[in-house]
Amino acid sequence: MDVLISSATMCISPKNPFLVRSARPGSLILPKPRSPANSVRFHRVAVVAAARATAIDLSDPEWKLKYQRDFEERFNIPHITDAFPDAEAIPSTFCLKMRSPTYINNKDRVLLKVINYSSPASAGAVCIDPDCTWIEQWVQRAGPRENIYFRPEDVKAAIVTCGGLCPGLNDVIRLIVITLEIYGVKNIVGIPFGYRGFSDKNLPEIPLSRKVVQNIHLSGGSLLGVSRGGPTVTEIVDSMEERGINMLFVLGGNGTHAGANAIHNECVKRRMKVAVVGVPKTIDNDILHMDKTFGFDTAVEEAQRAINSAYIEAHSAYHGIGVVKLMGRSSGFIAMQASLASGQVDICLIPEVPFNFHGPDGVLKHLNYLIETKGSAVVCVAEGAGQSFLENTNAKDASGNKVLGDIGVHIQQETKKYFKENGVAADVKYIDPTYMIRAVRANASDGILCTVLGQNAVHGAFAGYSGITVGIINNHYAYLPIPEVNAYDKSVDPNSRMWHRCLTSTGQPDFL
Ligand SMILES: Nc1ncnc2c1ncn2[C@@H]1O[C@H](COP(=O)(O)OP(=O)(O)O)[C@@H](O)[C@H]1O
Ligand SMILES: O=P(O)(O)OC[C@H]1O[C@](O)(COP(=O)(O)O)[C@@H](O)[C@@H]1O
Ligand SMILES: [Mg+2]
């Protein structure tokens, strides 16, 4: 198992075999905006596309081929041999009791988009050209490789969890540690309290082993602790050098991944042979390209309790109105899915869909109609919705994220005022379950997702990839370059089938 084999002789090249360098064509051509809400999204997506691409020359008979090559280049994942062409590969030390593992071929790919839209008018269509031509977009399949680029005895692996809490953090930590041990790694540590643990001398590393992590998934939170803000990338990489860390697993959202990519770039700059691998953690589910991120399913499930309580309160009161605020800084995925799942929500408000409170088409008028016709109502609002109605304090948290105003309190106050002014009785109850939801342990479906992501993160690091993250795409697992998943926040498309299903379920009109 310990024989070194030259990458030039035995090792399958980790680089993309189809990769051909080309100019960067390919701005996205999107369906004509159909509503103000869609035009916001159109603008955002188009800007992102324009920033990274020049227009496609459709008169060029090769345009499709060029687009595909450009895509391959963008989604090619960085490898240690980029900086160290002579890095040696050894046969994998990943082994299972009683049976030989099967390996992923470096040429294996996962299809990113699976719908062939026949026209730009087709629901949810995102097209590359005016005819909505089908273009295959492939990304790299995750999993164990036959050859690895680290000797387990030379590895010091570190795990860090950053940002806010999310169900499943402990499940991912657990599987990273267990998988590292199966490869033969003995030196595994946790960095306490996010990136802060790299610079705070009062926070010692936490030694990790299968014994330590065996049961941590039985509770929520993070064994290692989390934080926002912290040291600079230079300070983090200085600390990694000092500690001899050569594998870093970073669990966090878009901010954490921006940090992870900067750490990867700094390591390359300093010619450190290090693998930096992210596992996307965002309860808001706003990371690009993935079916979902871990913790999201659990959050939707847990949100049912809050919605059900709001429904019971509203239904049991005379003219009762229950308001529930759910997480979603810039996206309404939790609010939309929880509203759909519960079937008890009459009005769902998300950041992606503008609305008015007042006026003939406003939320309050519809609430009045619901009280008149049903006698009670439930409102589910995402925290990032309706921020334009609130005072902008320009306050930022330690990570630089905008501190939002409380839209739930605002809805409660405005509703009370409106009904009082109109001389109609209304009993308004407001529930904010955010921290109760974030703190629960992962449900079974998230538990499985975390298990697969944790294992694949370790396989990716041993395979020599760095500056990557791992996600579930069309029910398969893939490695993606961090800049591609971090290009902008994923959001709910107001013209998507899913949002339309939500509107069908709630029966709400457009509030504009
Ligand atoms: N652009 C960035 N570059 C480097 N580090 C960042 C960047 N943005 C955020 N971070 C760091 O990442 C960590 C988590 O970021 P935060 O936005 O709080 O959570 P999340 O990763 O869930 O989005 C913080 O320690 C923060 O300092
Ligand atoms: O109060 P905190 O800890 O700053 O967290 C609040 C935020 O955390 C979130 O759950 C998202 O967290 P991340 O940025 O870590 O993904 C948001 O929904 C919410 O706005
Ligand atoms: Mg964030």
Give 210's pLDDT tier (boundaries 50, 70, 90). very high
Beta-carbon contacts of residue 47 (< 8 Å; ≥ 6 apart): none
Residues 257 and 280: their CA atoms lie apart, in Å, by 8
C-alpha dihedral, 348 to 353 to 354 to 356, nearest 10°: -20
Burial 328-356 (b: 16+ CB within 10 A, else e): bbbbbbbbbbbbbebebbbbbbbbbbbbb
C-alpha 38 to ligand 2 mean position (Å): 26
> Which atom from ligand 2 is nearest to the alpha carbon of 438?
10
Q: Which two tokens stand for residue 183?
A: 């490869």
- Reported residue count of the chain is 512
The catalytic position among 70, 284, 286, 493 is: 284
Nearest Cα residue to atom 12 of ligand 1: 256
Which ligand minimizes its atom distance to the CA of 250? 1
The amino acid at 172: V
Residues 330 and 151: their CA atoms lie apart, in Å, by 42
Of 396, 168, 163, the residue nearest 258 (C-alpha): 163
pLDDT of 21 above 50? no
Q: Which two tokens stand for residue 147?
A: 């050859």
pLDDT of 53 above 50? no
**Phi, psi for 250 (deg, rounded to 5):** -115, 115
Q: Is 284 designated active site?
A: yes
Beta-carbon contacts of residue 216 (< 8 Å; ≥ 6 apart): 170, 173, 174, 223
Least confident of 48-52, 57-61, 364-368, 486-490: 48-52
Residues 159 and 185: their CA atoms lie apart, in Å, by 13
For the stretch 91-106, pLDDT in tens is 999 988 778 889 999 9
CA distances from 113 to 127, 142, 474 (A): 11, 17, 8
Three-state secondary structure call for residue 326: strand
The binding site consists of 164, 228-229, 253-256, 282-284, 327-329, 383, 435-438
ipTM of the complex model: 0.96
For the stretch 317-357, pLDDT in tens is 999 999 999 999 999 999 999 999 999 999 999 999 999 99
- Compute CA 280 distance to the chain's CA centroid, rounded to the nearest angstrom: 5
For the stretch 294-315, pLDDT in tens is 999 999 999 999 999 999 999 9
CA angle 25, 28, 30 (to 5 degrees): 160
Give 15's pLDDT tier (boundaries 50, 70, 90). very low
Largest Cα separation within the chain, whole Å, is 84
Of 191, 177, 294, 182, the residue nearest 250 (C-alpha): 191
For the stretch 432-459, pLDDT in tens is 999 999 999 999 999 999 999 999 999 9
The binding site for ATP consists of 164, 228-229, 253-256
Question: Measuring from each residue's beta carbon to the nearest atom of ligand 2, which residues come in under 6 Å?
Answer: 163-164, 253, 282-284, 327-329, 383, 397, 438
> Which atom from ligand 1 is nearest to the alpha carbon of 281?
22
C-alpha 289 to ligand 3 mean position (Å): 16
C-alpha 390 to ligand 1 mean position (Å): 25
Mean of all residue pLDDT scores within the chain: 90
Residues 109 and 492: their CA atoms lie apart, in Å, by 27
DSSP secondary-structure letter at 191? E
